[in-house]
Structure 1
Amino acid sequence: MKFTTRKAALSGLAIFGAAVLLAGCASAPEESDGDGGEALDFLPCMVSDAGGFDDKSFNQLGFEGITKAADELGVEAITVESQSETDYAPNLTSLVDQGCDLIVTVGFALSAATVESALANPDIEYVIIDDAADNDFDGTVDSENIKPILFDTAQAAFLAGYAAADFTTTKTVGTFGGMNFPTVSIFMDGFKQGVDYYNEQKGKGVTVLGWDGTDGLFTGGFEANDTARQVAQSLIDQNVDVLLPVGGPIYQSAAAAIREAGRDIAMIGVDADFTVTDPSVADLMLTSILKGIDVGTYEAVVAAGEGNFDPTPFIGTLENEGVGVAPFHDYESLVSDTLQGELDDLGAAIIAGDIEVKSYLAE
């Protein structure tokens, strides 16, 4: 069983996990017969967070998912970018006013605005990526017409952390995030657990900088700016030679700092396979920690368009292939000959429950 590649369809997103992604509850709209029949009466919409749809990360994956779904359904999607947090509520209001049947919001930062909009518009279906829509923390989704799509990325980050510990020559690896939200720190936590497990199994002493299991280094936002570059530089100055930036475009600042350092430092991507989505950093990428955001979005939009919207939360795991790690690509010849086999075994052990990876989604 391989965990270094994500299957093209990620079909597990539709059939496994905490809930089945495609179960019906909405009434079926009229469909086109594909031969000039009546067009499908369905308008899917999406609003990004401040990272924008060209972030090479989770906003872009969401955009790709809704675009593919709209093409398959034979409809046109409305997509709106947010420039800042103050845009979230107005953008949602605009989509409601345009008659959207389904609104996908991309990112935990939109949680409050999504819940408010969903409560005010119970006849509209909502999907939120990377958030449980549980702002009162009572363990349930705050509005019955919201479907959360979540990813237990700690499992995949565990494998990436193990790989980083095996690859490092300075015995020091680092991570930093945009803001200390659960959907950010879950990567950092899994990464640290993977390094710690490597140390236990191998009798090594690889150090993780930037996350202690509770708190760590954060830029205060998700922009590729000088603050993010300085945070990355602070880790590089401490002899880190594998770096995991978690927070959309902040990886671009980390890449700039790595190039300025003038020594061999590998980077680990998040959400998407950065070697594919941003070839300009391919030479820096050890691997990437993957979320099936594009497939999860596609499946949810198609289901809603076919009258089968199901608000039950979905959680992506290694078992259902909702999360995973990318190939080593340019680093394949540089990692140890035994690493791939070890990662395969670790992935199988996590799925079997023989290795526990802790996260807020596994509690």
Structure 2
Amino acid sequence: MRITSRKSALAGLAVVGISTMLLAGCAPAPEAPGSSDKPAASDFLPCMVSDSGGFDDKSFNQLGKQGIDEAATKLGVKANSVESKVETDYAPNITSLIAQNCNIIVTVGFNLAAATKDAATANTDINFAIIDDNSIDLPNVKPIVFDTAQAAFLGGYAAASYSKSGIVGTFGGIPIPPVTIFMDGFYDGVQYYNSQKGKDVKVLGWDVKKQKEGAFTGGFEANDTAKSTAKNLIDQGADVILPVGGPIYQSAVQAIKDSGKDIALIGVDADVTQTDPDITPMLLTSIMKGIQVSVAEVVSEAAAGKFDNTPYVGTLANNGVGLAPFHDFASKVDPGLQGELDAIKAGIISGKITVESPSSPK
């Protein structure tokens, strides 16, 4: 990972908080077999398979389902979505949707890559899209990916600015690219703050250089392991915590409540004040990616016969990723913080500040 900067970048202006996210794809790619410009038929069937955590995870699975349901409503059809409880559910769930004659199957998450590739290879007449993975190079598979490190960089800077203890922490579900990319950007955002301000805010829970050593729960479930992991960070003095991995943040919430300490939480994927408003008072901000809008657009294009395998790559430049407003913390953060974040965002977009993660989409 490499970070370069010019202090003059702090003079730029950009809007960090985003409420509407529009994603842009890369260069045009050949249409998948069977594609056409014909409008969607009334019997078009969009389908989705979740990762573990379920469609009520208030995170990436839920956003994916909201996206496919949004597209289905506009098309006047009904989406068919099935939940995966464990890894062994992935392939059977996809097979069950193929048997139901789905026209497009969206799989939610990096963990479904192998099952998605096998199904797409065997069923070339069906279109697939996969969130958070771009390893599949097939004409009937469209990756939906996000350079989340850019937004997480802003989140790390904000966390370092807000921290009173000089210690912040992060932990993840599983050490896979869609998780560690948040942790990379967060770590580097803290280091950028330190370099700009002459501070030494420490990051617990992730070794950005080794890329494998960090705090992980082994899954995306809200459970005692996630709670104890968050507690360990709190016990070491962290007063800002970034949990990365769907529902595991709910366990961090319990750990914070049990501690009785003034600990700020940073959400991921969605603006968590919208998906889980009950915890708004403890949310400093959220690091967002446009899962809902990208899924809705991909499904709508497939229904219109305009499916292709060109990846969607969400960035700060196209508002595919971003940092949520501070909401209840607006009066608690440094008065100059928002302006600094605006300038940093402008610097990242212009290339004056380079944020790189081994997990960034290539």
Q: TM-score, normalised by structure 1?
A: 0.92
Partner of 2:149: 154
What amino acid maps onto 1:27 in structure 2?
S
Contact kept? 1:21, 1:299, Cα under 8 Å? no
Give the secondary structure class of the aligned counterpart of 2:190: helix
The aligned runs of 1:285-296 (5 Å cut-off) are: 285-296=283-294
Mapped contact 2:48–2:82 kept (Cα < 8 A): yes
- Asked if 2 retains the 8 angstrom alpha-carbon contact of 1:17 and 1:317, the reply is no
SS in 1 for 2:280: helix
How many matched pairs?
345
Q: What letter corresponds to residue 284 of structure 1 in structure 2?
A: M
Structure 2, unmatched stretches of 5+, are 1-12
Q: Does 1:27 align with 2:36?
A: yes
SS of the residue 2:225 aligns to: helix
Residues 47 and 358 (structure 1 numbering): CA distance in 2 closer, same or farther, change over 3 Å?
Answer: same
Map of 1:94 onto structure 2:
96
Task: Tell me the CA shift for residue 362 of structure 1.
Answer: 5.6
Is 1:206 the equivalent of 2:201?
yes
What does residue range 343-362 of structure 1 map to in structure 2 within 5 Å?
343-359=341-357, 360-361=359-360
Partner residue, 1:217: 215
- Mapped partners of 2:350, 2:28: distance in 1: 20
Equivalence for 1:336:
334
- Partner of residue 35, structure 1: none
Q: How big is the alpha-carbon RMSD for the aligned residues of Structure 1 and Structure 2?
A: 1.6
- In structure 2, relative to structure 1, the CA distance for the partners of 1:23 and 1:320 (3 Å cut) is farther
Aligned-pair CA distance for 1:218: 0.4
Ranked by relative contact order (alpha carbons within 8 Å, sequence separation 6 or more), the top structure is 2
Q: How far off its partner does 1:142 sit?
A: 3.6
Partner of residue 17, structure 2: 5
> Structure 1: where are the runs of 5+ without partners?
32-38, 135-140
TM-score between both structures, scaled by the size of structure 2: 0.92
1:128 to 130, 134, 158: 130
Cα deviation code 1:149-204 (max 9, x no counterpart): 00000000000000000000000000000010011000000000000000001000
Structure 2 CA distance for partners of 1:22 and 1:50, relative to 1, 3 Å? farther
Q: Does 1:185 align with 2:193?
A: no
Corresponding residue of 1:137: none
- Do the aligned residues in 1 keep the contact of 2:32 with 2:140 (CA within 8 Å)? no
Provide Cα deviations, 1:282-311, integer angstroms capped at 9, x if missing partner: 111000000000000001000000110011
3-state SS of 1:288 partner: strand
Aligned partners of 2:183, 2:340: CA distance in 1, in Å?
21
1:18 aligns with 2:22: no
Q: Is the 8 A contact 1:21 1:300 kept in 2?
A: no
Change (3 A) 1:4 1:305: same
- Quote the residue 2:54 is aligned against: 52
The one-letter code sitting in structure 2 at the alignment partner of 1:55 is D
Identity %: 59
Aligned to 2:300: 302
